[in-house]
Amino acid sequence: MYLADFHLHSNFSDGKLSIPALVDYYGKRGFGAIAITDHFCEQTSLIGRASTYLGVTLTTATFPIYRELLKSEQERAWDQYGMCLIPGVEITKNSILNHRSAHFLVLGNLENIDPNLDISELSDRVRPEGALVIAAHPVSTQKIEKQTFHLWDRREELAPKVDAWEVASGPYLFDEVRYSGLPMIANSDFHSEKNMTSWKTLLSCEKKQEAVLQAIKKQQLDFQFYREETVREPSYSTLPWIMGPQLGHYGMGNVDSLQAISK
């Protein structure tokens, strides 16, 4: 059994660490598999284009270098730590409205990525090539940040196009996802060391990309809360009165339990 985390950001988008530093950070902590998934904002929206100007997203220009660096770090991660590094990207469609915003991860194959495509079009394009599509933080993350509900609103229609839905994206379990019967995955949405304390996915398959992706697809996985000792307690910055009544029933999740929950 080993820990895995499939939603990490580097300084190619809005993460703090470089890709080599992320590999070292997770490698030194004994993780068996990680995926680096930088934001790639759609360029058809004003917010997406603004992100490009601010340098907080991958662009068509930086994407080739990103892919090459992931390729070479994949080798190093394996040689140095016996860790499987999966190339990924977080397709980022932001709108002012939370219900029009969607983030989803593509893992495993970055050959034909176009951030302007709709999730179902992109899914049809990349899944036959062995990539996985994962709905990122589909419900409230219980943090004061931009929320992305669009995929969850369309979950019945999208279910056949999505391989897994994040049941955690940080220290809180999402009860709606947990009891929905949809396939799940737990990630940290790592942007800096302070995000390390989080739910992670637990795998027991071979540490090879195909095996790991298959395990996610077949849901041969478990979840475990991981606490990074050097960093202070996960902050309960959730202020329900700011989040609005719509979030009231979302529950806090089993934050402090270290025991794995089974599906």
Partner 1 sequence: MGWGTWIAFKQFQNRREEEPSSLAPVSILKPLKGVDEGLLENLESFFKLNYPSYEILFSVTENTEPAISVVQKLLSKYPSADAKLVCEPQNTGPNPKINNLMTAYELAKHDVILISDSNIRVKPNYLLNLVPDLRDSVGIITAVVAGVSAKGLGGWLEASYLNTFFARWMVLTKKLGFPSVIGKSMLFRKSILKRLGGLKTLGHYIAEDYMAGHGIQKLDLTVELMRSPIEQFIGPYSYQNFWARHLRWGRIRKSIAPLAFLIEPLFFSTFSGVAGAISLNVLFGFSPLTVWGLHMALWGICDGLIYQLMDRFSWKALGAWVVREGLAPLLWISILSGNTVSWRGRDYRLLKGGLLAEGRTT
Which residues are at the interface with partner 1 (CB under 8 A)? 10-12, 18-21, 43, 49, 52-53, 59-62, 64-65, 67-69, 71-73
Smallest distance, Å, CB 43 to partner 1?
7
Smallest distance, Å, CB 27 to Zn ion?
21
192 binds, among partner 1, Zn ion, none (CB under 5 to 8 A by kind): none
* 2-8 and 33-41 beta bridge pairing: parallel
Under the criterion CB under 5 A, does residue 103 sit at the interface with Zn ion? yes
Percentages helix, strand, coil for the chain, rounded to the nearest 5? 35, 25, 45
Q: 137 or 207, CB closer to Zn ion?
A: 137
103 binds, among partner 1, Zn ion, none (CB under 5 to 8 A by kind): Zn ion
Residues 215, 226: Cα–Cα separation, whole Å = 20
The 10 Å Cβ neighbour count of residue 71 is: 12
Residue 198 Cα to chain centre, angstroms: 12
Which phi and psi (to 5°) does residue 243 adopt?
Answer: -70, -20
Q: 44 or 235, CB closer to partner 1?
A: 44
42 binds, among Zn ion, partner 1, none (CB under 5 to 8 A by kind): none
Structural tokens at position 66: 């990103």
Residues 6+ apart with CB under 8 A from 150: 93, 99, 100, 101, 102
Binding range to Zn ion, per CB under 5 A, among 73-81, 100-108, 172-180, 200-208:
100-108
Binding range to Zn ion, per CB under 5 A, among 130-138, 178-186, 200-208, 238-246:
130-138
